[in-house]
Chain A
Amino acid sequence: MAEETAIHMQDVKVRFGEKQVLKGVNIEVGRGEIIGYIGPNGAGKSTTIKLILGLLHEFEGDIEVFGTSIRGADPAYKKRIGYVPENAEIYDQLTAGEYLTFVGELYGMSRDKAYQKAAFLMEQFGLTEVIHQNISAFSKGMRQKVLLISSMLHNPDIIFLDEPLNGLDANSVIVMKEIFHKLAEEGKTIFYSSHIMEVVENISDRIIILRDGEIIADDSFATLKARSEQGSLEGIFNQLTGFETNEKQVENVVSSVLDREVREYE
């Protein structure tokens, strides 16, 4: 393998109007790594992913995907990327088969190849019967499976997953985690973003924590655990992002629900 670096970000800054969303982010991800990319809401996680996917163009610094700078680059580099977006945008008037074929074609596959592969993968996920049904009739878990298939159909080298296990049942979750591991062993890079710390903890080789547009931790879980007194990623995360369970907040909410506390507002 000539290229060992999948993603290289150097001093990347992004500003939306007044707000500095990313304040000089440096990330280096190698082939075959599974990166857990976490942070509180609004920390800049999805901005980072959008930058690499070329959905946002205005940034300072340098971003390279497999050694090629993406600034003003030919969009062809996206052929090597797969993506499961968090808010699951999907053309749901299409049938699963039509949608997946279309996505395959967008990635440059032939229609026939895309369809065959989609049909096979759908079969593996137990979706054979619904392949000709409109996605709008799908349950959340079925939709998510379609999205997952659409991100892997074209044999990408990097896969971005944003809450990829959303809505999947427990069995499917186990299967998916296993698939991610196997793909990583085959040299695929997986960029995993989620708020469910247990999953991130046991799936990732390396964990990157983002807060207010800055990276505050970038290490393996073992190293992170050794550095802090916390035993779980959840504990480490809360400690690093400066969050403490607020007893008063819990108290207030409960007493308001029970109508024990009433306040006047404008």
Chain B
Amino acid sequence: MNNQFSLKILDLFQPVFRIFHIDYPMVRRILEMKLLMDGRRVPTVFDQSTKIKGNKFLQSLGLYAFYSLLLLFFLVGDVYIFQMSILFGISMFILMSAFISDFSAVLLDIRDKTIIGTKPIDARTIGVAKLLHVLMYITMLTGAFTIIPIFFMLFIQGIRFTILFVVLMALFVLFIVALTSLIYILVLHVFDGEKLKNMINYIQIVLSIGIVIGYQLVINVFNVVGTEVHYVFHWWNLLIPPMWFAAPFEVMLNGNTETGILVLSSLSIIIPLLAIFLYYKFIPAFEQNLEKLLDKKGAASPKKYPFRTFWEKMLCTSEEEKYFAFAYQIMGKEREFKLKVYPTLGMAIVFPFIFLIIFLQDSSVEELKSGYPFIYMYFTNIFISITVHMLQFSAQYKGAWIFPMTGGESPKLMYRAAIKAFLVKLYAPVLIIVGIGYSLLFSFSIWLDVLIVFMSAILLAVMAYGITITRRYPFSDAFETVKEGGYTAKSFALMFLTAPFVLIHFLSTLLPYGKVAWCILLAGITVLVWKFVFRRKAASKAISKQVINN
């Protein structure tokens, strides 16, 4: 994106800034610098060969466009309050996770504090520049997320619906940005910095669970009977944000003027404006509280990790153990890694259930049981390649100098241990949660499917390693704050590698004992591929030597 162009657009809003007594030229200058910096890659010690690549953020937009396909299911029909509530619910989940994972780094940047905060600049000016910086990227992200649905709805629902949607979506995004920031402000005010950083991860998990519960709620609210949907307003509906944004569709397009719907509609305008106003009011306090992020807490008691130690012994060779433990700790402790990865894990848990619900809209559990429910479990695997790709990065990537220093051992060994740690620590719990959910919904026999899904996950992880890993050592390169949405085109394409597994799994059900056979065959293939990819080459030593020489 052309920075000058976006700044020119911003110039059009100058009068607005003047109304709020904001030092616009300074805001613009700070923003210009930020955008300039975003456009540059930080060269790192271990990967000097890496060329300056295209904007990673733009590449990650593809992923959001992909997610948006989910929305299409809810664009057909005219029970707007129902469809649009679900649609805004999904959007809220996906956009909020994206904001939290990609933009927290920007919102919580304390570098600004020492560099700009010590200069004669109003705290509000810094806050506004920061907000605009985030808003620019959010606009692009939202654009990617809504462009396909917008085209689709133009055909299906017509122009009036589309315009209404665009307006409401804009309000909706404002609301979410302000809400996310206000949550941060509140948490920072009440707790210390350490808590906030941990809290961000909890917020993500809560969001994931919230969406599942949200669906239960929506189904209950609307009293779905077959395809007929009845809506009766209850006061507590006012507490469900997606419903505010769904209500105007009822008013404008269905001519529904019930009091409840009107009240909900008015909230869709009032609350976002109020939230932005509050945010503006709280900016100075927020910036001030950011200082807390620098606080450090004192000593802690020694911790034991029986679970980790158990799997370490079970799965690793003696030389792998130390790397397994290291990777396991980083995955559990490094906030930035968690920020990037945990939201996708949340989706890995939620998606299998979302799709079940989509299909439950027009069929019963009984029908699904006789079908192929395991297919939806593969949504947990879609995220594997992205996460494996992430194993290369760390906020403290500079610490990786220690690896070539202590040298001798192959980086492959480190990745092998890291992938094992990933499967044990992050992937297995997700699949087990999904498996438990499915076995409760369907039958216990689903666990054979779970096993097959798990083995294809291992195979996928190894393939992802072979294809996406370009850094020599794990955790040895920087996440680029805003630009690296976390996904490259490659790992995005890898998501589709899940498809053949789904297909074979499906085909295997057509044969007697087909699943068992596939399970055994898959186990064999996985072992072979694992051995092949992680085979020891004499060459690897020469390479690591070369790194030290560099």
Residues of A whose CB lies within 8 Å of any CB of B are: 16-17, 50, 53-57, 75-79, 81, 83, 85, 87, 89-94, 98, 102-103, 105-108, 134, 136-137, 266
> What does the 1/0 interface line of B89-133 toward A look like (CB < 8 Å)?
000000000000000000000010111111111110000000000
**Closest chain A CB from B384 CB (angstroms):** 31
**Closest chain A CB from B336 CB (angstroms):** 17
A-B contact pairs, 25 of them (CB 8 A): A17-B192, A54-B118, A55-B114, A57-B288, A75-B119, A75-B121, A76-B120, A78-B118, A78-B120, A78-B121, A81-B118, A87-B114, A90-B115, A91-B115, A102-B29, A102-B33, A103-B115, A103-B119, A106-B26, A106-B30, A106-B116, A107-B119, A107-B120, A136-B42, A266-B302
How far, in angstroms, from A16 to B193 measured CA to CA in the complex? 12
Judging by beta carbons under 8 Å apart, are B40 and A55 in contact? no
Judging by beta carbons under 8 Å apart, are A94 and B37 in contact? yes
Q: Contacts A55-B291, A102-B29, A136-B43 hold; do A77 and B113 have CB atoms under 8 A apart? A: no
Q: Is B448 an interface residue (CB 8 A)?
A: no
Judging by beta carbons under 8 Å apart, are B33 and A91 in contact? yes
Q: Is B36 an interface residue (CB 8 A)?
A: yes
How far, in angstroms, from A50 to B43 measured CA to CA in the complex? 31
Judging by beta carbons under 8 Å apart, are B291 and A108 in contact? no
**Closest chain A CB from B113 CB (angstroms):** 6
Residues of B whose CB lies within 8 Å of any CB of A are: 26, 29-30, 33, 36-37, 40-43, 111, 113-123, 192, 288, 291, 295, 302
Judging by beta carbons under 8 Å apart, are A98 and B36 in contact? yes
Q: Contacts A56-B291, A94-B36, A102-B33 hold; do A137 and B43 have CB atoms under 8 A apart? A: yes
**Closest chain B CB from A63 CB (angstroms):** 15
Residues of A within 8 A of B122 (CB): 75
Judging by beta carbons under 8 Å apart, are B117 and A54 in contact? yes
Other CB < 8 Å A-B pairs besides A56-B291, A106-B26, A137-B43, 19 of them? Answer: A50-B291, A53-B117, A75-B120, A75-B122, A76-B120, A78-B119, A83-B118, A85-B118, A89-B115, A91-B33, A91-B37, A92-B42, A93-B37, A93-B42, A106-B30, A106-B120, A107-B119, A108-B120, A136-B43
How far, in angstroms, from A78 to B33 measured CA to CA in the complex? 21
Judging by beta carbons under 8 Å apart, are A93 and B121 in contact? no
Residues of B within 8 A of A105 (CB): 29
Judging by beta carbons under 8 Å apart, are A89 and B120 in contact? no
Residues of B within 8 A of A83 (CB): 118
Residues of B within 8 A of A79 (CB): 120
Judging by beta carbons under 8 Å apart, are A93 and B114 in contact? no
Judging by beta carbons under 8 Å apart, are A89 and B37 in contact? no
How far, in angstroms, from A56 to B33 measured CA to CA in the complex? 25
How far, in angstroms, from A50 to B294 measured CA to CA in the complex? 12
Using CB atoms, name the residue of chain A closest to B25: A105
* 3 A-B pairs with the lowest CB-CB distances in the bound complex, closest first: A106-B119, A78-B120, A93-B37
Residues of A within 8 A of B115 (CB): 89-91, 103
Residues of A within 8 A of B119 (CB): 75, 78, 103, 106-107
How far, in angstroms, from A200 to B235 measured CA to CA in the complex? 69
Judging by beta carbons under 8 Å apart, are A134 and B40 in contact? yes
Residues of B within 8 A of A56 (CB): 291
How far, in angstroms, from A108 to B120 measured CA to CA in the complex? 8
Residue in A81, A91, A98, A103 with the greatest tally of chain B CB atoms within 10 Å: A91
Judging by beta carbons under 8 Å apart, are B111 and A91 in contact? yes
Residues of A within 8 A of B192 (CB): 17
**Closest chain A CB from B55 CB (angstroms):** 14
Residues of B within 8 A of A137 (CB): 43
How far, in angstroms, from A92 to B118 measured CA to CA in the complex? 18
Residues of A within 8 A of B111 (CB): 89, 91
Residues of A within 8 A of B117 (CB): 53-55
How far, in angstroms, from A55 to B121 measured CA to CA in the complex? 12
Q: Contacts A91-B33, A136-B42 hold; do A77 and B120 have CB atoms under 8 A apart? A: yes
Residues of B within 8 A of A89 (CB): 111, 114-115
**Closest chain A CB from B1 CB (angstroms):** 17
How far, in angstroms, from A83 to B119 measured CA to CA in the complex? 9
Residues of B within 8 A of A93 (CB): 36-37, 40-42
How far, in angstroms, from A154 to B295 measured CA to CA in the complex? 31
Residues of A within 8 A of B29 (CB): 102, 105-106
How far, in angstroms, from A158 to B111 measured CA to CA in the complex? 22
How far, in angstroms, from A147 to B329 measured CA to CA in the complex? 35
How far, in angstroms, from A77 to B302 measured CA to CA in the complex? 48
Using CB atoms, name the residue of chain A closest to B302: A266
Residues of B within 8 A of A87 (CB): 114
Residues of B within 8 A of A134 (CB): 40, 43
**Closest chain B CB from A26 CB (angstroms):** 24
Judging by beta carbons under 8 Å apart, are A85 and B42 in contact? no
**Closest chain B CB from A131 CB (angstroms):** 16
How far, in angstroms, from A124 to B42 measured CA to CA in the complex? 27
Judging by beta carbons under 8 Å apart, are A53 and B302 in contact? no
Residues of B within 8 A of A77 (CB): 120
Partner of A85, one of B43, B114, B302: B114
**Closest chain B CB from A80 CB (angstroms):** 9
How far, in angstroms, from A137 to B40 measured CA to CA in the complex? 13
Residues of A within 8 A of B121 (CB): 75, 78, 106
Residues of A within 8 A of B30 (CB): 106
How far, in angstroms, from A50 to B110 measured CA to CA in the complex? 14
Residues of B within 8 A of A266 (CB): 302
How far, in angstroms, from A92 to B116 measured CA to CA in the complex? 14
Using CB atoms, name the residue of chain B closest to A50: B291
Residues of B within 8 A of A108 (CB): 120
Residues of B within 8 A of A53 (CB): 117-118
Residue in B29, B114, B118 with the greatest tally of chain A CB atoms within 10 Å: B118
**Closest chain B CB from A138 CB (angstroms):** 12
Using CB atoms, name the residue of chain A closest to B301: A266
How far, in angstroms, from A22 to B158 measured CA to CA in the complex? 66
Residues of A within 8 A of B291 (CB): 50, 55-56
How far, in angstroms, from A85 to B110 measured CA to CA in the complex? 13
**Closest chain A CB from B482 CB (angstroms):** 12
Using CB atoms, name the residue of chain B closest to A81: B118
**Closest chain B CB from A135 CB (angstroms):** 10
How far, in angstroms, from A256 to B30 measured CA to CA in the complex? 52
Residues of A within 8 A of B295 (CB): 16
How far, in angstroms, from A107 to B115 measured CA to CA in the complex? 11
Residue in B29, B30, B33, B116 with the greatest tally of chain A CB atoms within 10 Å: B33
Residues of B within 8 A of A92 (CB): 42
Residues of A within 8 A of B43 (CB): 134, 136-137
How far, in angstroms, from A103 to B288 measured CA to CA in the complex? 21
How far, in angstroms, from A172 to B41 measured CA to CA in the complex? 31
How far, in angstroms, from A79 to B123 measured CA to CA in the complex? 15
Residues of B within 8 A of A106 (CB): 26, 29-30, 116, 119-121
How far, in angstroms, from A98 to B295 measured CA to CA in the complex? 31
